[in-house]
Amino acid sequence: MSNPSSPLPRQSRSWITRFIDALPTWLESTLGGNGRFNVVWLMLIGWVFAIPIIVTPLSLAQQGLLAVSVIGLGWLLVWLEQRQSHQSHQRSGERLHLVLVWLSILVTLRYLYYRTFSTLNLDGWLDATFSLLLYGAELYAIMTLLLAYMQTLRIRERQPIDMTAVPGSQWPQVDIYIPTYNEEVDIVRKTALAALAVDYPADKKEVYILDDGRKDPARRERLRQICYDLGCHLMTRDNNDHAKAGNINHAMLRTEGELILILDCDHIPSRCILQHTVGFFLNPKVSLVQTPHWFYNPDPFERNLLTQGQVPVSNELFYKVLQKGNDFWNAAFFCGSAAIIRKNHLLEVGGIAVETVTEDCHTSLRLHSKGYETVYYDKVMVAGLAPEKFSAYVGQQVRWARGMAQILRLEWPLFNRKLTLPQRICYTSATTHFFFGFPRLMYALAPMAFLLFGINPVRGLGLETLTYALPSIILALNANFIVYKEVRFSFWNEIFEYALAFQDGLVTFMALLNPRLGSFNVTEKGLQVTRRSFDWSSVKWLLVICFLSLVSLAMVPYWLISGLQDSDAVLINATWCVVNIGLLIAALVVALEQPQLRQAHRLARQLTAVLHSGNETFTGTTLDISESGAQIVLHSWPNLADHIDLEIHGDTVACASLRGRITRVIPHRDDQVLVAVAFEEMTPQQRDDLTLVIYSDVNEWYSQKRVQVDSPFQSLFFLFSSLMRALRDPKPAEAMQIRKRVQASAQLYTQGYYVSAIAGEINSRTLQLLLPNDRLTTIHPEILEPGQPVGLLVSSDKRDESTRLIAQVDEINRTSDAIVLELSFPQVLDVRQKEQINYLLQTLPG
């Protein structure tokens, strides 16, 4: 009998498996250094194998067979990766991704060779112009594809470095900077409050609000009062030179910390942020530790298309994949906030860069040029605000586009000899990313120009062209699927690019011409969108393109009947145009601003909630929570009054004791009950406590790891349903009347008549009384008339005398057993009666 503890014999592996297994490590050692000859040899070997495959001409039938075979192989590899990913074979997924990347590059270069030497139409100046413009757009797409392949060749996952072995006296001093300009003071206060609550030795941490808003003295005084109340520092300057970068550089010369945690004023930090990041600085070469940005409110794409969190937002692709790929090559860069920087390294490169409006990425490039290291740690430890309005979102994206184009124009990272080759590739990929505007517009204009004016940018467009193009497109989708399947869904990236194409294309073009143009614009946040509206100014040119695309489809019958253009080319351009129209319509709907139905943004958090109603206590878990209310899941149906006391506990130490009003109680799952609570009458201290519970005392934010992966057909269906939902009238959830069920003696009286009754249900505004049918004849007629005021005596077990109240008859219902009177307490008497009503709510037996 064999020993169960003995190791299993190692299975022999084929030379192909061993080769694929060793290839990523070999590429890492080859490309990770500065050895120019290694890179040259790698390129020569690659070309030796690739050139025959790329340039060999084939007949249409042969090329078609090759296309079908390659596409089938791509789908097979994706299926294998999916099968192995369910078995947690991450290494196997990396190998399959590498094979798919190699295949994709081969078929893409084969398509490019065919496209260059067989399909450029240079016959007339108009055809030649459109042909070269479309060709340039395709060259950009191929370049970004190849750069992204290199950028995401390997993904690096990091674990925090334990600091417990380091004596507390040796922990570095950390200054927390919160730069601000004109943002709402309440937003700044929440960030400062959470910064002070960060778990780090008190004598090793200082918090500074860096106010650049010198043009608003009243706001500055409010900030000064906040700093006095909370115990942090306010730092100001007498100018606004270089905006945020200048603000931080000014502060660095006046503070003593070794490390600087930079937080945008709307980025509320978790209390664990320093515990998880400072350990990386034990390596003296580390200059920067960047953590992800996460936004607790939906951006305009999420809100206006009503995706309900089921579609990844744009920053997930960057923070969940691209930054991890950058980190593998020591090319992770500063993103402006949620980052810790070593101050002496920063001073060595002249502080935060001021030459561009994306000072963060520019600063990282200079740190890497000095040979320093950066770290990307993928744990969400800040909660920020995304722009609420589409126009503000466009402004933010345009600033990023301008800044990246400025860095490209000023630094030319691909030719920076102080960077390693992988770093050059990663920075080139980042700085060229926002040039998608011009290519995206060309993809919309090309089929429209053909159908409207007969301008033919692709010579011989037909079945043969498809046999070259489709393998390139599908293999690229397959290769990217393995890496991006949880962070980018089909069609949504195209909608994003179309929505920003005009503004992006213009600003990147101008930045290349003159990188000194443009200034730093603060993104407007904290807005309340109260009504539906359409942002015409942001999408007016997109409307023109969409209209002309629709008109161009009307020309399809003319071309097919006249025979002046090849029918294959007409049908392909018509199909292309239909796809463009669908994406353009979706991009236009993003500009249809949907109203915000809640007072504050809800966050999906599972926190312990304790509800107190009279002598009863119910413990549950929040489904979601905001600064104005929460939804709480209980495991049994509660007998609650509409007003309760409750406690919300954070993940570790924070707790908020609040007063709440129950707005709904509905079944949830199985035997669970969902209780919706609106917080009321909060004091400033309670608001601060709630802020710490919601945003600061967090072990782990929403991880953005999705159960669903990209499925083109499901994504298309969800896109269509999103468009339908976006056109419906939004309706907030209706409040329910919540009353506590009681059993207590009561009396009605008016004009000397007294009638005994039973109190059945009560809340802070209404009371239900039950009268036996045999008392109908004894009731004074005036009592039975709705709107009549009546006196009320209600007995409580805890008080000898009855509680006296004034009520009003609202409704009278007769059943076979009793008369049901619905009474309400007049609001004009709230000052006199509120205390007595609350006493009854607390003491009447259920």
Residues classed as catalytic: 212, 360
Would you mind telling me the total number of residues written for the chain in this entry?
846
Q: 3-class DSSP state for residue 189?
A: helix
Contact 823, 809 (CB under 8 A): yes
How many whole angstroms separate alpha carbon 150 and alpha carbon 426?
A: 8
Query: In which region does residue 752 sit, left (phi positive, over 0), alpha (psi from -120 to 50) or beta (all else)?
Result: left
How many whole angstroms separate alpha carbon 172 and alpha carbon 258?
A: 6
How many whole angstroms separate alpha carbon 498 and alpha carbon 580?
A: 9
Element (H, E) at 753: strand 753-762
**Complete DSSP assignment for 547-588:** HHHHHHHTTHHHHHHH-SS-HHHHHHHHHHHHHHHHHHHHHH
How many whole angstroms separate alpha carbon 445 and alpha carbon 549?
A: 8
Contact 572, 470 (CB under 8 A): no
User: CA gyration radius for the chain?
Assistant: 33
The pair of structure tokens assigned to 202 is: 């008190």
Cα–Cα–Cα angle for 617, 621, 624, rounded to 5 degrees: 130
How many whole angstroms separate alpha carbon 247 and alpha carbon 287?
A: 20
The letter for the amino acid at 649 is H
Element (H, E) at 617: strand 616-625
Three-state SS annotation for 676-735: EEEEECCCHHHHHHHHHHHHHCCCCCCCCCCCCCCCHHHHHHHHHHHHHHHCCCCCCCCC
> Greatest CA span in the chain, whole angstroms?
109
Query: What burial class does residue 734 get, using C-beta atoms within 10 Å of its C-beta: 0-12 exposed, 13-18 middle, 19+ buried?
Result: exposed
Helices (H), 760-803: none
How many whole angstroms separate alpha carbon 319 and alpha carbon 313?
A: 11
How many whole angstroms separate alpha carbon 86 and alpha carbon 92?
A: 12
Contact 605, 694 (CB under 8 A): yes
The pair of structure tokens assigned to 828 is: 């004009």
Angle between helices 359-369 and 421-432 (to 10 degrees): 170
What do you get for the CA distance between the two ends of the chain, in Å?
A: 68
Query: What burial class does residue 82 get, using C-beta atoms within 10 Å of its C-beta: 0-12 exposed, 13-18 middle, 19+ buried?
Result: middle
- Of 363, 164, 154, 155, the C-alpha closest to 276 is 164
Between the alpha carbon of residue 150 and those of residues 96, 376, 418, 614, the distances in Å are: 15, 18, 19, 64
Quote the DSSP letter at residue 603: B
Q: Which residue has the tokens 């406690």?
A: 647
Instruction: For residue 463, give every residue at least 6 positions away whose Cβ sits within 8 Å of its Cβ, in sequence order, or none.
Output: 60, 64, 568
Contact 783, 835 (CB under 8 A): no
**Complete DSSP assignment for 328-394:** HTT-----SSSEEEEHHHHHHTTSS--SSS-HHHHHHHHHHHTT-EEEE-----EEBPPPSSHHHHH
The pair of structure tokens assigned to 551 is: 């008109």
